[in-house]
């Protein structure tokens, strides 16, 4: 076996020459896929579509896919994002069409663009827009609850995390909260710039 020189990668892979950013939707029954299931689906689709994706170095290389802001399991979404590194330049629209055809119905690639320069994708997304459907409650009650919530400067809730109980100010993360009577839904823009994007914990759609 050939020895690896000091400072060199084992089993080096071709370099990344282009990064393509994809926006995809998670619809219908596929909203119940976990983020890991979505990632596996994209890795298989990359192979089926023949996209020249770059891989990590080493003896167990993986496609260079970067994810940000994954919607929670069970929530439909119109705005999921992933970046992929390519070993040669390709028209982003060709990548979008090939990936959309290779992915199952319900994981739909709706837009693509070449990712140019900093900041990184995670630094570009500072808020998310959510629609939460409320059933079995009169519109007036929903509107009253929204008004009471937005009137507060702070609303602290306790969440159970792997490291124990943690208090979170959910009011600080909400920029706007509106009621849409025609569907008895709340539309929220969550997280101000500089804050970590918060995710609702009820049936939602991100768009």
The residue among 81, 72, 106 whose CA lies nearest residue 20 is 81
Res. 9 pLDDT band, cuts 50 70 90: low
Please check the confidence at residue 176 and state whether its pLDDT lies above 70.
yes
SS3 category, 191: coil
Q: What rounded mean pLDDT belongs to the chain?
A: 83
* C-alpha count within 13 angstroms, C-beta hemisphere, residue 139: 8
Give residue-wise pLDDT tens across range 97-143.
Answer: 999 999 999 999 999 999 987 878 788 887 888 888 888 888 889 88
Strand residue runs (E) in 154-202: 156-161, 164-169, 174-180, 185-190
Residue, of 184 and 24, whose pLDDT is higher = 24
Output the pTM of the full model. Answer: 0.76
Contacts of 95 (CB under 8 A, 6+ apart): 20, 22, 51, 84, 86, 112
Share of the chain above pLDDT 70, in %: 81
Kindly state the average pLDDT of the residues 22-46: 95
Taking the C-alpha atoms of residue 69 and residue 6, their distance in angstroms, rounded to an integer, is 37
């Amino acid at each position: 076996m050939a020895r690896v020189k000091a400072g060199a990668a084992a089993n080096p892979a071709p370099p990344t020459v282009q990064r393509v950013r994809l926006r995809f939707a998670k619809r219908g029954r596929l909203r119940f896929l976990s983020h890991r299931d979505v990632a596996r689906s994209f890795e298989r689709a990359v192979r089926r579509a023949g996209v020249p994706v770059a891989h990590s170095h080493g003896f167990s290389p993986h496609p260079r896919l970067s994810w940000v802001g994954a919607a929670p399991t069970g929530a439909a979404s119109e705005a999921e994002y992933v970046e992929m590194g390519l070993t040669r330049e390709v028209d982003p629209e060709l990548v979008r069409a090939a990936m959309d055809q290779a992915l199952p119905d319900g994981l739909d690639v709706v837009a693509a663009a070449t990712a140019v320069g900093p900041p990184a994708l995670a630094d570009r997304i500072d808020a998310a827009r959510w629609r939460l459907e409320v059933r079995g409650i009169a519109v007036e009650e929903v509107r009253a609850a929204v008004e009471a919530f937005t009137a507060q400067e702070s609303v602290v809730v306790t969440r159970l995390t792997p490291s124990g109980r943690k208090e979170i100010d959910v009011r600080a993360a909400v920029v706007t909260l509106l009621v849409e009577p025609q569907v008895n839904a709340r539309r929220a823009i969550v997280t101000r710039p500089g804050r970590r994007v918060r995710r609702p914990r009820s049936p939602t759609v991100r768009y």
